[in-house]
Amino acid sequence: MTSDRDDLRRLHFINALFAHVTGQDLYLAEQIKSAIAFSLTELEAQTAAHPEYAAKFDAAFTAAAARLLAQAFAHLPAHGFYHWDAARTETSATPLFAREEIMKGLRHLAPFKEATLLITNLRPALIPPDKRATPRRVREYDEALAFIRELAAARTAPSASLQLLFL
């Protein structure tokens, strides 16, 4: 089983991610969290037997939540949605490739007055969980966050409302 601390963290994660659906109701967020966890039952059982699989379960949980969020926004045709997984390849989170991916997402979202740009796995891509969080890695992560925020602000129309979500 996963720890109570991890469950609480996932509950708040889902509540924040799906606030437009839950209206900040933790009961509804718990229902969504449970549904996602149910879809990962086999992996959760493996995690209970092998605690070292916890990071794998977290990654699968985040990916499932991102897919569910994409489906939720697909039903809102006036709201744009784009998901970028920074850990998709080993070079995805490097400045050159990150800029290309973010620009691709911003071009996709440009026609919408309201849009959400979901960025997952940026931290694990730049500060791998199995490695030390050295000052250089932390600085690169902070610089990547600032770069993405500045790029999104510069390339989004002033009349548009863009939500940046970093998971």
What does pLDDT average to in each consecutive run of 10 residues of the chain (167 residues)? Answer: 72 79 81 80 70 71 81 81 87 85 94 91 87 92 94 93 88
CA distances from 25 to 16, 20, 22, 30, 31 (A): 10, 10, 5, 9, 10
For residue 70, is it within any domain? no
For residue 39, is it within any domain? yes
Please identify, among 33, 61, 89, the residue that sits at the C-terminal boundary of a domain: 61
pLDDT of res. 1: 44
pLDDT of res. 71: 81
- For 146-161, the pLDDT digits (tens) are 999 999 999 999 999 9
For residue 66, is it within any domain? no
Please state the domain count of the chain.
2
Range of the domain at 94: 76-167
Judgement on whether residues 56 and 128 belong to the same structural domain of the protein: no
Judgement on whether residues 85 and 139 belong to the same structural domain of the protein: yes
